[in-house]
Copies of this chain bind each other. A is one copy, B any other.
């Protein structure tokens, strides 16, 4: 049985990988656990109201459990209220089914992104990029780009970077006034702070550092540190790469402490904006039949889209 086989009020037992698990208190001071459960196909919100120390110790983000409880609905959002939690043995389930991944495997993504790095001719930019990717080699190609919004799967971040690089080629051809090295370097590094903001590719939760500092200022620190190590902190290149990172959300109210003030930063903001939304739509459109509406989509302020019958 899978999530989609249950309806509100049903008793249910499901194998679920949990992510974004948090211990909170109700307004009346009772502790409970709130998390997302993934059955390999669908996501469901999971709550454990009667939380005790035994259960708390069992729960680890990114792990698979057999959960039993009752289904409820909240205005069309299904919720799984769990009473029992059982750790699942190593061979009990086909674990690979519980971790979705980018369409391209990490090793291939690495090769494809390296081709772009090879094309960077400015040595300062190239060295900053290589230095940082070496430091974060293990995570860069397997990390997700987000918990919920878009590219929220294994290698989501590198896949998003690779897509943006490919799309940027169309703009570079059309607008030769753009500096190719800055565009490639900026895209490769723009979300580097997410390696620290989100725990890891399996558990996908916000870290404490992530919540208090945010991925944009942390990325600024990473570039600052790499540039210092290379002795190029006063270079125009290090300055401009930092500007690209700081401004890539486009507007102050989206969390960028600076708005784009160089052309390449403006392009990267718009590419990131467009690619993240087209990717979020992709997932929903593919699950929707022609002539029907999609679910509400987080990346579009929870609006629903129509798939035309054409």
Q: Which residues of A contact B (CB under 8 A)?
A: 3-4, 6-9, 24-30, 32, 34, 41-45, 47, 49-50, 73-78, 81, 122, 125, 163, 166-167, 169-171, 173-175, 177, 179, 181-182, 208-209, 211-214, 216-217, 220-221, 224-225, 228, 236-237, 239-240, 242-243, 246, 252-263, 266-267, 270-271, 273-274, 277-279, 281-282, 285-286, 293, 295, 300, 303-310
Contacts and interface: CB of A to CB of B under 8 A. Distances in A.
Contacts of A32: 7, 73, 76
A310 B263 CA distance: 13
Contacts of A212: 239-240, 242-243, 258, 261-262, 306
Nearest to A169: B170
Contacts of A208: 239, 306
A4 B27 CA distance: 9
A217 B238 CA distance: 14
Contact of A303 (B8, B259, B293): B259
Nearest to A25: B295
A310 B181 contact: yes
20 contacts: A7-B50, A8-B49, A26-B73, A27-B42, A27-B45, A28-B43, A34-B76, A125-B310, A167-B171, A170-B170, A171-B274, A171-B278, A174-B278, A179-B308, A209-B239, A240-B308, A240-B310, A252-B254, A261-B303, A263-B307
A273 to B, nearest CB: 7
A75 B278 CA distance: 30
Contacts of A259: 303
Nearest to A24: B76
Nearest to A9: B49
A276 to B, nearest CB: 11
Given A49-B7, A295-B25, A217 B242 contact: yes
A122 B182 CA distance: 40
B42 A28 contact: yes
Given A220-B220, A240-B310, 6 more contacts: A26-B76, A32-B76, A220-B221, A236-B310, A256-B257, A267-B274
A34 to B, nearest CB: 7
Nearest to A228: B225
A280 to B, nearest CB: 10
Nearest to A209: B239
Nearest to A76: B26
Contacts of A242: 212-213, 217
A28 B71 CA distance: 11
A212 B241 CA distance: 10
Contact of A42 (B29, B42, B304): B29
A137 B3 CA distance: 50
A306 to B, nearest CB: 5
Contacts of A3: 28-29
